[in-house]
Amino acid sequence: MIISSTAIRNRISVMVLGIIILVVGIYCYMVLPRESAPDITIPNVFISTSYKGVSSSDIETSITIPIEKKLKGLDRVKKIHSVSAEGDSQINIEFIPGTDIDEVLQKVKDKVDEAKKDLPGDLEDDPSVFEVNFSELPIVVYALSGDCGLTCLKEIADDLEEDIESIQGVLEVDVTGGLEREIKIEVEPDKLAYYQIPVTRFQTVVNSENQNTSGGAITLGDGRYQLRVPGEFSTPDEIYGLVVNVVDGNPIYLKDLAKVKDGFKDETSRSRLDGSESVNISVKKRVGENIIAIADQIEELIQQKKPTWPKGTRITKLMDQAKDIRLMVADLENNILSGLVLVIVVLFFALGFRNAVLVGLAIPFSMLLSFAILYALDITLNMVVLFSLTLALGMLVDNAIVIIENIYRYMEQGVSRIQAAMQATAEVAQPVIGSTLTTLAAFFPLIFWPGIMGEFMKYLPITLVITLSSSLFVALVINPALTAIFAKLKHQSKDAHAPLSADEVKKAGEKPVEIKGFLLRSYASLLTKALKHRVVVVMLSFASLILLFQFWLLAVGLEKPVEFFPDIEPHSLYVNIVPPQGVNLEYVDRIVKKTEMALLEKAEKEIDGPPMIPIDHYESFYMPRSHRKASGEEFLAPGHMDNIEHIYAKAIVLSGGGDVFSPNSPTHIGVQFIDLEDRRRSSKLTVEEIRNRVKGTPGATITVAKAEEGPPTGAPINIEISGDNFRVLGDMAKKIRGVLEKIPFIEDIQDDYVSLIPSIRVRVDRQKAALFGLSTEIIGFALKTAYNGLNISTYREGDEDYDISVILRKADRSVLDVLYKLMLPAPSGQLVPLTSIVSIDYSGSIGNIVRINHNRVVTVKADVDETKIPGPVARAQAETMLKGFTLPAGYRIQFTGEFEFQKESEAFLSKTFVVVVFLIFLILVSLFNSVAQPLIILTSVILSLGGAFLGLALFKSPFGIIMTGVGVFSLAGVVVNNAIVLIDYTNKLIKRGMDLNHAVISAGATRLRPVLLTAITTILGLLPMVTGISFDFHKMSMSYVSESTQWWQSMALVVIFGLMIATILTLIVVPTLYSLLISTKTRGASFIEKATQLYWKPVRRYPV
């Protein structure tokens, strides 16, 4: 091999290159940005439009549909999803993955601009158009609580917001909760009626007076002076002195009509942490910035600020992605060091300490080279990249083992270090390169994984391709050069040997190992017996595959053989509360408190629903109680249940539809669990206990959902019913819910249909209104100003701006009589009583209107108890039961959500597996110049699946479509490596004149050591991912729990147990198949030759 020989001849230069890789790699590792989730650009664009006080049906017709019509001409649109709610329209446009988000964002903005002429003229703000990026979600959320009150907490939060936003890498800081200052002009309807002044008059007066204006400039002598007319209010009291109108020369002051209150905006939400009022601070980072560095700076800032806060003020982390990524990075570092130690220990007994270290050096060199490439490609260290590096860890030394073991074998034959390094590396270079290419071929097609799941998972094949390519470079360049300098036999004679000639070196390398020692003799004996019963061995191999598959089905159970994503221990959960639409904040907050109390109540026996406890006792439920961690350490937390660290609640009344892409209800209770290693029992059991406690809480729909991990996939069961008539859709949703209730282990069944929202309808007599020059738009604007309020100006104090709003008094906004006193200004200046041109009655309107791809849709959602049955299986049962469901003409049902992602991933992975097999086959054909020998290797890949099923069966793990599927690809790439080296060496022995059986046994014995060593090191490297047990080199102690184990266990199981079986296959079945194939070909060729001699006679040709 030219590159290896050149490296060996220039081994000092290679050592310098190694030092450069070490320095650059360490630097790149230190500066590589850390993120929890990959930097994913979701090709989604959102359009949000606010139109306060307008019903959902009017929002649909006046805003949502006009915008949707303009969007029909957009290209590469996958789905348009809209929600029309009271006072709010939200539209989500999902584009085909790979779409240029900047380009389509501008196109959407252009389409919205075209639609503006069709929208209501009294919109306070233009529609907002924006994109969503995974990396722009909060990285850390804090809750401020204490005894100083919401106003004080809000001031502290605002102060922190300014300081945190100044930290490099922070994109945005959001403060929610607390009380926001506002200057309110609360008008009295009786006085307005008496003086005949419309409520809209205040906007003109206040806005025109509250401003500084310029009067130009004046020249006095040699000087030029600017004329200023200061008019901005210096105190809120100045507003009282404004003249609203003049009647018969007498001014009517604002103080005669209204009261000015320097207070706070009306509450639309309330937040609590462990029963105390709180204000939340969420921090978002910029794309590509280091999450750990940002989190550390925020923590340092908070520690500096704490002494200045009022006594008793507490700040609590509700979410911290930096903590998760720290654990993952620590796992990787521990696995690298553990892998290095294990490789050295395992290889020490076979090759000696010095050679074991030379092999082990492949790990740090490959990793550091990979870090440099990742940094150059702007790829961050995130959960997928970190797992990929951990998965690759077990394969990094495979090439190095094959090469250095072969060099060691040459040295055992008396060849010098340098000669052995050159000749041995050249001998195995081709199969090593071929085996690496087959491994890369197993992962490379995964780069083209479609959809959001593909955007999330593509970093796995990219990272593995980089890492395994780095390991190949290290094996072919750095390892041979270092071995030529430092290699040494375990029991080397001190007598110097003269250098061997080229022919002597070649003969030494061609010589197989002597079959001596217990292991080699036992193996040779076993293989000899197998060669005598070749057909039986092959049949037993295939029978074992079938039996192991059946064993897995029996161990797992027919009801849960498949899962989509791993069912991991949740970090937190949400108790989602959906109150009736149209209720006020007091009602919602009361329901939230009752639900909190049900969650915290001590269970003397099995609880089925919430206890009936007066809400006055709310505070007593949050008395801190002593709990014990798994380590025995005690800690204080609310409630009587294990695992709970904090409980935070949010009650909110939305005037709009909220966040259409949020998986959780705006009103919810969050339960944060203690760390996984501290839990005394599974948090899944805690989830079920909480579900039993809160279900049936009257006054709202209550569901419980675990916090989503990984890419957003939707509910396990998500059924969309589409059609024209919303009430028909609601009836169908009710029937489908009834069907789902009959399926075991399906929980929290709900739909988003709301039948009626109480409303008061103000019907305009258009003919009468027209006589006065009034329109429906003018009348609606006046009503919104009176009841919802209108921001008419801004009051500036220091660096802060506060809204000045005009609105009816709070008491007057709660009675209907005020409507009969309102006056409307006509264009002529005449004041018209509202009741003279409208009629008022009570009615009901439909709730939120959901549209998908321009059709009205009602969605039925349900969760699945994954501890009893996987989501895909429950979903399949639901599909079966709904096949006979009768649908009205023009209506249809469709399974979406997680189901869509599952089908998409299943289709891609099944097609990709075929592509992978074909790519591996092509590489093997080009390597061996044969069709039959690659088929032998591919057969061993299929047979190795028996080991995968064995591992899944022993751990009672279902087949994960994502994780286990990727594990199968990993296994396929790894299994072929040893088989390639074995068959390649067998071919060489046969070419050198050795008979078939002798060549097969000698090749197996010669490659026994590297095959076992590569298998053992790979298995040991992946073992912590299965058991969660590893050594923590930071704390210098054993660690028995790993967060990442839950994610990657099924994938590691497939590789570990598959490789165990594959090792036996490589050493026994592959040689047996090879012998069977060659002997069959030989007999076939012999038969053809004999037949030719018997039946074919040459035609005699006579001269003419």
pLDDT tens, residue by residue, 8-62: 899 899 999 999 999 999 999 999 988 877 777 777 899 999 887 688 888 999 9
pLDDT band for position 476 (50/70/90)?
Answer: very high
Q: Are strands 668-673 and 838-845 parallel, antiparallel or unpaired?
A: unpaired
388 shares its domain with 484: yes
**Within 13 Å, how many C-alpha atoms sit on residue 968's CB side?**
19
3-state secondary structure of 220: strand
pLDDT band for position 1062 (50/70/90)?
Answer: confident
Sign of CA dihedral 748, 749, 752, 754: negative
DSSP symbols for 962-982: THHHHHHHHHHHHHHHHHHHH
Write the CB contacts of 750 (distance below 8 Å, at least 6 apart in sequence). Answer: 578, 701, 703, 737, 860, 861, 862
On whether residue 411 sits in a domain, the answer given is yes
On whether residue 269 sits in a domain, the answer given is no
539 shares its domain with 628: no
pLDDT band for position 657 (50/70/90)?
Answer: very low
pLDDT band for position 606 (50/70/90)?
Answer: very low
The reply to whether the predicted model has a pTM over 0.85 is: no
Q: Is the pLDDT of residue 207 over 80?
A: yes
Sign of CA dihedral 64, 65, 66, 68: positive
pLDDT tens, residue by residue, 402-461: 888 888 888 887 788 888 888 888 888 888 898 899 889 888 888 888 877 788 888 889
On whether residue 145 sits in a domain, the answer given is no
pLDDT band for position 507 (50/70/90)?
Answer: low
Structural element, H or E, at residue 1096: none
Q: Is the pLDDT of residue 1030 over 80?
A: no
pLDDT band for position 365 (50/70/90)?
Answer: very high
Let me know: does 232 contact 292? Beta carbons within 8 Å.
no
What pLDDT is recorded for position 997? 86
- Using CB atoms within 10 A of its CB, is residue 94 exposed (0-12), middle (13-18) or buried (19+)? middle
1042 shares its domain with 960: yes
- Using CB atoms within 10 A of its CB, is residue 822 exposed (0-12), middle (13-18) or buried (19+)? buried
Beta bridge partners, 651, equal 270
1082 shares its domain with 957: yes
Structural element, H or E, at residue 699: none
In the structure encoding, which two tokens stand for residue 500, read together? 């061997």
What pLDDT is recorded for position 658? 46
Q: Rounded to 5 degrees, what angle do the CA atoms 940, 943, 947 make?
A: 120
Radius of gyration of the chain (CA): 37
Picking from 38, 19, 15, the residue whose alpha carbon sits closest to that of residue 27 is: 19
pLDDT tens, residue by residue, 55-104: 888 899 999 999 999 998 888 898 899 999 878 899 999 888 778 888 99
pLDDT tens, residue by residue, 772-815: 888 887 888 888 888 888 888 899 888 788 899 998 888 887 77
The owner of tokens 């760390």 is: 675
Q: Is 1059 left (phi over 0), alpha (psi -120 to 50) or beta?
A: alpha
On whether residue 558 sits in a domain, the answer given is yes
968 shares its domain with 992: yes
Beta bridge partners, 801, equal 796
Q: Containing domain of residue 398, as a range?
A: 1-31+371-488
CA distances from 970 to 390, 435, 451, 1018, 1053 (A): 13, 13, 22, 12, 11
* Three-state helix/strand/coil letters over 88-121: EEEEEEEECCCCCHHHHHHHHHHHHHHHHHHCCC
Cα(878)–Cα(394) distance, integer angstroms: 41
pLDDT band for position 559 (50/70/90)?
Answer: low
Cα(976)–Cα(919) distance, integer angstroms: 12
Residues 989-1015: what's their mean pLDDT? 86
460 shares its domain with 607: no
Q: Which of 252-261, 353-362, 939-948, 970-979 has the lowest mean pLDDT?
A: 970-979
Q: Which of 154-168, 528-542, 904-918 has the lowest mean pLDDT?
A: 904-918
Cα(682)–Cα(813) distance, integer angstroms: 50
Helix/strand/coil percentages in the chain, nearest 5:
55, 20, 25
CA distances from 54 to 236, 760, 848 (A): 31, 11, 12
On whether residue 881 sits in a domain, the answer given is no
Write the CB contacts of 432 (distance below 8 Å, at least 6 apart in sequence). Answer: 399, 402, 403, 472, 475, 476, 981
For residues 1028-1048, one letter each, b for 16 or more C-beta atoms within 10 angstroms of the residue's C-beta and e for the rest, the string is: bebebeeeeeebebbbbbbbb
On whether residue 46 sits in a domain, the answer given is yes
pLDDT band for position 490 (50/70/90)?
Answer: low
Let me know: does 795 contact 236? Beta carbons within 8 Å.
yes
484 shares its domain with 549: no
CA distances from 755 to 614, 699, 734 (A): 30, 16, 11
Cα(592)–Cα(651) distance, integer angstroms: 7
What pLDDT is recorded for position 328? 79
pLDDT tens, residue by residue, 138-188: 889 999 998 888 889 998 999 999 999 999 989 889 888 888 889 999 988
What pLDDT is recorded for position 114? 92
Residues 708-732: what's their mean pLDDT? 80
More confident residue, 696 or 756: 696
Give the length of the chain: 1104
- CATH code (residue 579): 3.30.70.1430
- CATH code (residue 378): 1.20.1640.10
pLDDT tens, residue by residue, 580-600: 877 888 899 999 999 988 888
- Please tell me the total count of domains within the chain: 4
The owner of tokens 């009672």 is: 956
Residues 745-774: what's their mean pLDDT? 82
Q: Is the pLDDT of residue 610 over 70?
A: no
On whether residue 876 sits in a domain, the answer given is no
Q: Is the pLDDT of residue 1104 over 50?
A: no
pLDDT band for position 771 (50/70/90)?
Answer: confident
The alpha-helical segments, DSSP class H, found in 489-642 are 502-510, 518-532, 534-556, 585-600
575 shares its domain with 562: no
For residues 540-579, one letter each, b for 16 or more C-beta atoms within 10 angstroms of the residue's C-beta and e for the rest, the string is: ebeebbeebbebbeeebeeebebbbbbbbbbbbbbbbbbb
CA distances from 640 to 620, 630, 679 (A): 13, 16, 14
- Which of 686, 708, 730 finishes a domain? 708
- Contacts of residues 165-168 at CB distance under 8 Å and 24 or more positions apart, as own/partner, are 167/294, 167/297, 167/298, 167/301, 168/289
- Which of 98, 117, 135 finishes a domain? 135
What pLDDT is recorded for position 605? 44
Cα(94)–Cα(443) distance, integer angstroms: 28
Let me know: does 316 contact 143? Beta carbons within 8 Å.
yes
What pLDDT is recorded for position 785? 80
pLDDT band for position 1098 (50/70/90)?
Answer: low
pLDDT band for position 343 (50/70/90)?
Answer: confident
Percent of the chain scored above 70 by pLDDT?
91
Q: Is the pLDDT of residue 865 over 50?
A: yes
Let me know: does 85 contact 848? Beta carbons within 8 Å.
yes
- Which of 708, 741, 773 finishes a domain? 708
What pLDDT is recorded for position 504? 62
Type of residue found at 446: L
Structural element, H or E, at residue 995: none
528 shares its domain with 651: no
Neighbours of 727 (CB within 10 A): 11
3-state secondary structure of 640: coil
550 shares its domain with 417: no
What pLDDT is recorded for position 895? 86
DSSP assignment letter at 666: S
583 shares its domain with 553: no
Cα(671)–Cα(649) distance, integer angstroms: 9
- Using CB atoms within 10 A of its CB, is residue 583 exposed (0-12), middle (13-18) or buried (19+)? middle
Cα(1060)–Cα(1016) distance, integer angstroms: 9
What pLDDT is recorded for position 320? 87
Backbone angles phi, psi at 49, to 5 degrees: -135, 130
* Three-state helix/strand/coil letters over 151-214: HHHHHHHHHHHHHHHCCCCEEEEEEECCCCEEEEEEECHHHHHHHCCCCCHHHHHHHHHCCCEE
pLDDT band for position 567 (50/70/90)?
Answer: confident
Beta bridge partners, 269, equal 652
| Mean per-residue pLDDT of the chain | 83
106 shares its domain with 49: yes
Picking from 870, 973, 869, the residue whose alpha carbon sits closest to that of residue 912 is: 973
pLDDT band for position 376 (50/70/90)?
Answer: very high
On whether residue 855 sits in a domain, the answer given is no
Q: Are strands 668-673 and 562-563 parallel, antiparallel or unpaired?
A: unpaired
Q: Is the pLDDT of residue 287 over 90?
A: no
